[in-house]
Structure 1
Amino acid sequence: MSRPYLQDGSLIVRLAETSDIPALLHYHLSNRAALAPFSPRRSEQFYSAEYWQLQIALSHSHFEQARSCRLSVFEPDNRSVIGEINFSNLVPYPFYAATLGYSLDPAHWGRGRMHQALTLALDFVFEHFNLHRVMANYLPDNQRSARLLERLGFEREGLARDYLLIDGVWRDHVLTALTRRGWSAHDGQRELIENGNGGCQT
């Protein structure tokens, strides 16, 4: 399975490699305080090279198994990390969906960089995994994310109470989703649908 290497001239979106560990550590350490209000609490291990060595290996394996797609956002130099995009809980038949999470260096907020990166990433995962639906959830007071997702076409679907443990506190989240109109099954998917052989059970 070919790994994504997405670019639009002003940034690059791809799976991280072990050579990127110093850049990943710099991104997370330098933005630790700024991202904490939007993130689960991180252990000290999270900020170690050993942790990221394992995470990169897992991200490659999970991508090849179509379980998730964890991407890093790079400056055009292809060395400096400015953000992350994660499509997790990738579920095939009969859901064909994933959950989106993302973060960006605050120095780049308000410049349209995450909109650019997510446009590339969403186009890729919808096509590569032939997804029907991507879900993204945000804190009610995070109006920056609200506007970003709306611009990308996500529609608000509800409010989940005490949805996620953020910085040690159970927080409500607004639920949104982007659905691929005119979705049609690929050959392998069509066989699953016709035979009802998917792994997802009700």
Structure 2
Amino acid sequence: MSSIYLRVYTKEDALALLDLSIRNQGHFEHWMPVKPPKDTYTLPKQLERIQQLEENQKADRSYAFGIFLTETNQLVGEVSAAFVERFPAETCMIGYQLDQQYNGQGIMSIAVRQAARLLFDEYQFHRLRAEVMPENIGSIRVLEKAGFRQEGIAKKSLFINGAWEDFVLFALLKEELE
């Protein structure tokens, strides 16, 4: 039995999502190319976000899954899939974030593996992509442990925190998932 499970958010998750976001604001925003507006950190905005995520999933634009601890049902992070491309590509880009107090415990590798299985089996993707800044060693390890392989470097790909940053490119094919 796994220590975590993934599921789509419901409106009942809004308060837990707000708490997670506030406690990890600096940690999460450090890696974001576009910082969210300050009013993001309110309950109405979290409810709005959950509604938007539901609409995006129904329209096959993007997907987001909360990461919950099996024992307590506590929300500790998220795995998402965006930049959905359907036939002939059948691909998307995954992203993830974890409550910093749970870093280094293997939770995210399990979550990314679970999300990959879900995206391949239930949502019929053929290829998953991920991009990571080279200095984000923890995130690179997450992808490697989840079975992703490095494909290259995207030089000066995104403007983050005042500088153009390189990204390491990773991918996982459906047939490569263990």
TM (normalized to structure 1)?
0.80
Superposition map of 1:40-79 within 5 A = 40=33, 41-76=35-70, 77-78=72-73
**What corresponds to 1:133 in structure 2?**
127
Superposition map of 1:155-170 within 5 A = 155-170=149-164
Superposition map of 1:1-150 within 5 A = 8-40=1-33, 41-76=35-70, 77-78=72-73, 80-150=74-144
- Paired with 2:142 and 2:51, the residues of 1 have a C-alpha distance of 30
CA offset at residue 181 of structure 1? 2.5
| 1:139 and 1:172 in contact (8 A); partners too | yes
**What corresponds to 1:196 in structure 2?**
none
- Paired with 1:39 and 1:48, the residues of 2 have a C-alpha distance of 19
- The alignment partner of 1:50 has SS state of helix
- Paired with 2:24 and 2:18, the residues of 1 have a C-alpha distance of 10
In structure 2, relative to structure 1, the CA distance for the partners of 1:135 and 1:75 (3 Å cut) is: same
Give structure 1 stretches of 5+ with no counterpart.
1-7, 183-202
CA offset at residue 29 of structure 1? 0.5
Deviations for 1:55-100, whole angstroms, at most 9, x for unmatched residues?
111211221222211111112222x211111101111101100000
Opposite residue 129 of structure 1, the aligned amino acid is: Y
- Paired with 1:170 and 1:87, the residues of 2 have a C-alpha distance of 23
| 1:36 and 1:167 in contact (8 A); partners too | no
Q: What is the CA RMSD across the aligned residues, in angstroms?
A: 1.6
1:175 to 166, 169, 175: 169
- Paired with 1:55 and 1:9, the residues of 2 have a C-alpha distance of 28
Provide the identity percentage. 29
Post-superposition, which runs of at least 4 consecutive aligned residues in structure 1 deviate over 4 A?
none
TM (normalized to structure 2)?
0.90
CA offset at residue 139 of structure 1? 0.5
Opposite residue 37 of structure 2, the aligned amino acid is: S
Larger Rg: 1
Deviations for 1:104-138, whole angstroms, at most 9, x for unmatched residues?
11111111111111111110110112111000000
- The alignment partner of 2:175 has SS state of coil
The number of aligned residues is 174
| 2:110 and 2:146 in contact (8 A); partners too | no
